[in-house]
Amino acid sequence: MAALNIKKGSTSHSAYDLRDFHSDVESSHTLAVLVDNEAGVLARVIGLFSGRGYNIDSLTVAEVDHKGHRSRITIVTRGTMAVIDQIKAQLGRIVPVHEVHDLTLEGQSVERELALFKVAAIGEKRVESLRLADIFRANVVDSTLESFVFEITGTPEKIDAFAELMRPLGLIDVARTGVAALSRGV
């Protein structure tokens, strides 16, 4: 009898969790954590990561419910499935944490990041930087005779690609917000 050709990983179409928890393969995961908006909560969440040697690739925090005093922390981190599951379990045990969602495993999600790029360019490099900004749908938010500040929104990969193209044209400084993400659908 031939072996079934089933890919590892769970999908929304399967009733079985086919992930290999003993796998040494690291992957990136986006976690959405709903917490009480009170002093010290962010420090406790971050302390969980630093205390166990886990790295945070991206972190964004904002109040999402003014009446309920709740904030949403979006964390992008890397690890094996066992490490990610441990992080989620430990986050769930922190008292002011209400919900922990792994958007990477829960289905499709929308991820966006905002970045500002300062580019010093004159002559042909100035024209080329404006042309590339137009291709990437970046907006000019400040301009002098020698420099531009571009605003761009998109996936982290899009922002990385824009940065690589702007480097030889005179990229001076970059400011990035970090990833904001929501699951798709209802």
**Whole-number pLDDT of residue 10:** 47
pLDDT higher than 60, residue 14: no
**Whole-number pLDDT of residue 142:** 97
Annotate 134-168 with DSSP letters as a single string: HHTTPEEEEE-SSEEEEEEEE-HHHHHHHHHHHHH
CB within 8 Å of 173: residues ≥ 6 apart: 117, 118
pLDDT higher than 60, residue 58: yes
CA distances from 93 to 13, 46, 53, 98 (A): 29, 14, 18, 9
pLDDT higher than 90, residue 1: no
**Whole-number pLDDT of residue 2:** 54
Strands 97-102 and 56-65 turn out to be unpaired
End-to-end CA distance of the chain, in Å? 41
CA distances from 19 to 14, 16, 80, 100 (A): 12, 9, 11, 19
Q: Which two tokens stand for residue 78?
A: 């890397």
pLDDT higher than 70, residue 84: yes
Strand order in the sheet with 70-79: 56-65, 70-79, 27-36, 97-102
pLDDT higher than 90, residue 4: no
Comparison of pLDDT for 164 and 8, the residue scoring more: 164
Binning pLDDT at 50, 70 and 90, where does residue 20 land?
Answer: low
pLDDT higher than 50, residue 31: yes
3-state secondary structure at position 129:
helix
Least confident span in 24-28, 96-100, 154-158? 24-28
pLDDT higher than 60, residue 3: no
Q: Are 125 and 170 in contact (CB under 8 A)?
A: yes
pLDDT in tens, 85-139: 999 999 999 889 999 999 999 989 999 999 999 999 999 999 999 999 999 999 9
pLDDT higher than 50, residue 74: yes
What domains can be seen in the chain, in order of their start residue?
Answer: 27-102 (3.30.70.260), 109-183 (3.30.70.1150)
Q: Are 18 and 81 in contact (CB under 8 A)?
A: no
**Whole-number pLDDT of residue 95:** 85
For the entire predicted model, the pTM comes to: 0.77
